[in-house]
Each structure stands twice: as structure tokens, then as C-alpha cells.
Amino acid sequence: MMKLNWSDVTPHKIFLDRRKFMAAGAAAVALPALAGRVQAQGMTGRPSPLSTDQTPNTFEEITNYNNFYEFGTGKEDPARNAAALTTDPWSVEITGLVDRPGSYGVEDLAPDNALEERIYRLRCVEAWSMVVPWIGVPLASVLAKVGVQPSAKFVEFETLVRPEEMVGQQRAILDWPYREGLRLDEAMNPLTILATGLYDQPMPNQNGAPIRLVVPWKYGFKSIKSIVRINLLEQEPVNTWKQLQASEYGFYANVNPQVDHPRWSQATHRVIGSGLFGGREETQMFNGYGDQVASLYAGMDLSVNY
Ligand SMILES: Nc1nc2c(c(=O)[nH]1)N[C@H]1C(S)=C(S)[C@@H](COP(=O)(O)O)O[C@H]1N2
Ligand SMILES: [Mo]
């Protein structure tokens, strides 16, 4: 059993410990820290009217308080361990109900001249939040490139499996690969992006290099990192957290202050970077993006489809 300190005791983690998922895991082997981090090159993205005018969190905060279980379950584990991941070369397999399936490079999907800046609120299901200045492209532009067939209704995403570089994958903490999914109309919404950078820099490894999803009106776990596969399909795919505990984590995972998590309230959240004791604020429906997305859920019971 690993030794825990208070900062390790996140809500997801408490669930995992309770289920004793780690009991049968192989002993964690410490990877030698890799030197030779690629020198960050500047990136720029056109400003977007979809950005919030709120002040972003600092680069320090955004890159040192992360959830990325492939690198460990502690908030500081990704910053400590993610430098080991090789992100170049990288390719994304696009499969299923598309006209042009195949293996695409990051540069094919998110060319420099198409990059936009999107400053978005991020609301984790664990009831904390940040504001992040992402750089990326609309997922809709990628889907247009590959040609979505009329029978496609959902998009499925998968993260890389590479336990020799992703130290958290040396144990069955989750059922790897990490998987997520969106309904096609959610995927096509202009707010939904594939991000390849933040703060005018290539995506830091701990934030999901080289390419990750960002869906700002949904709980953070939908925004899957380090994507290697995008699959278009007819049936609703099963996402990792729903598969693990469907009574707590759904497919939709829309931010909703009126639908509590079974083990905690979702009415308010802690604002990262605002001090240890202050900085709670009220959670907004759809994380404040209701004007753009509420119509996607017209007529649906959001306490059933959580
Ligand atoms: N592959 C993968 N993607 C992931 C996760 C993860 O553990 N593995 N954690 C999710 C959760 S719970 C959150 S809150 C966000 C955090 O993104 P950030 O670290 O860039 O803030 O990433 C999401 N994407
Ligand atoms: Mo999260």
C-alpha cells in the first residue's frame, strides 16, 4: 500500500482506494527522470470571441496541479512524471464512420495557421476550477477534414497506452486506455477544441501533450489527454469513469450545480490559486456556457443523464 498524505486524498482517489484497485498491482517501478525536455517553442493562436475575459491561472498553477492518472493519482504526480513521455513522433488514428480514415500527424490536424486561443474555465468533477488559456483548433474542423459519414452519431477518444513511459499505467488504477466520448453534436459545437498548447507554448506533457480534448461545459474528466485514436461510431461509447462507477460518473458529465455527486455537492467549487481558505464560488449551469450549449439538451432530464 502506498503512503498517502492529505493532498493525495482526492475524491476520485478515495473511491479507488475503497475499491482496493491497487491491491493486486505490480510494485511501482520508479522510472529514471528523463533529461532533455524539448525546448519550448512559441505558438500563437488568434484571439476568439469564445474566450472568457476572466484572468487565467498562472502557468505554474496550470502545470503543477493536474489530474492525469497515467502518471499517478496525486495532483503533483503528472508534473513530476510526465516528462518521460515521448510526444514526437505522434500520430492519431482516425477510424470508423469517416470517409478518410487513417493515421494523422498533429500538424495535419492542428496546423499552425489554424490555431486559436481559447481562454476557458475548467471545472473538475472534484469541485475545483481554473481558467486556462488553451491554443487549439475546433474539433469540428478536424471532423470536416476526415469526412464524417451520415450514420455516425458519436465520437470516441482514446489516450496512449505506454506503461514504460506512463508510470501510473504500471498498475490497474483504471482500465487503460483512458477513454472518452461525445455525442456528434457536442463534438461539432464551436466551443469543443483539440488543444495543442497553452500560454503560447506547446502543450506541457502533464496537460496532455501533444494533443488533447477540451470541452469547457463538461466536468474535466471528459477532456481526455494525449489522444491517439478518434473513432466515429453509431452507438454511445463507454467512457472510463462511467465504466468504473456509473452511479457517480455519467456519459454526459455536464457541469450542473443542481445535480450533486453522490458523495459531495456540486453547488460550489474551490478556485485554484485563490488561497487555501478563501476562493469558493458558485458553480454555474454548464460551467457558464449555457448560451452556447443548453439547446443541445432541450427536453432531456439532466438528473437522469448526468
Ligand atoms: N488521459 C487522461 N485524460 C484526462 C485525465 C486522466 O487521468 N487521463 N484526467 C481528467 C481530469 S479528471 C481533469 S480535471 C482534466 C485536468 O486537465 P489539466 O490537468 O490540464 O488541468 O484532465 C482530464 N483528462
Ligand atoms: Mo477532473
Domain ranges of the chain: 7-41, 43-297
* Nearest-CA residue for atom 6 of ligand 1: 68
Amino acid at 142: V
Ligand 1 binding residues, C-beta < 6 A = 66-70, 122, 124, 159, 178, 207-208, 220-221, 223-226
Long-range CB contacts (within 8 A, 24+) of 4-9:
7/74, 7/75, 7/76, 8/73, 8/74
Q: What is the structure's pLDDT at 74?
A: 98
- Please tell me the distance between residue 188's alpha carbon and the centre of ligand 2 in angstroms: 22
Whether the pLDDT of residue 264 is over 60: the answer is yes
Q: Looking up cell 495543442, which residue turns up?
A: 196
Are the C-beta atoms of 216 and 289 separated by less than 8 Å?
A: yes
Nearest to 178 by CA among 219, 139, 208, 138: 208
Q: Tens digits of per-residue pLDDT, 84-139?
A: 999 999 999 999 999 999 999 999 999 999 999 999 999 999 999 999 999 999 99
Q: What is the structure's pLDDT at 275?
A: 75
Q: What is the structure's pLDDT at 42?
A: 82
The per-residue pLDDT of the chain, averaged, comes to: 91
- Please tell me the distance between residue 11's alpha carbon and the centre of ligand 1 in angstroms: 14
Whether the pLDDT of residue 31 is over 90: the answer is no
Backbone angles phi, psi at 220, to 5 degrees: -55, -30
Give the CATH H-level superfamily of domain 43-297: Oxidoreductase, molybdopterin-binding domain (3.90.420.10)
Point out the ligand 1 atom lying closest to the alpha carbon of residue 78.
19
* Nearest-CA residue for atom 19 of ligand 1: 66
Q: What is the structure's pLDDT at 291?
A: 98
Q: What is the structure's pLDDT at 32?
A: 37
- Please tell me the distance between residue 224's alpha carbon and the centre of ligand 1 in angstroms: 6
Backbone angles phi, psi at 115, to 5 degrees: -70, 140
Q: What is the structure's pLDDT at 276?
A: 67
Return the minimum-mean-pLDDT range out of 11-20, 35-44, 49-58, 122-131: 35-44
Q: Tens digits of per-residue pLDDT, 169-194?
A: 999 999 999 999 999 999 999 999 99
The stretch 155-175 carries a mean pLDDT of 98
Q: Could you give the CA distance from residue 165 to residue 168 in angstroms, rounded to a whole number?
A: 9
Q: How confident is the model at residue 290 (pLDDT cuts 50, 70, 90)?
A: very high
Q: What is the structure's pLDDT at 26?
A: 40
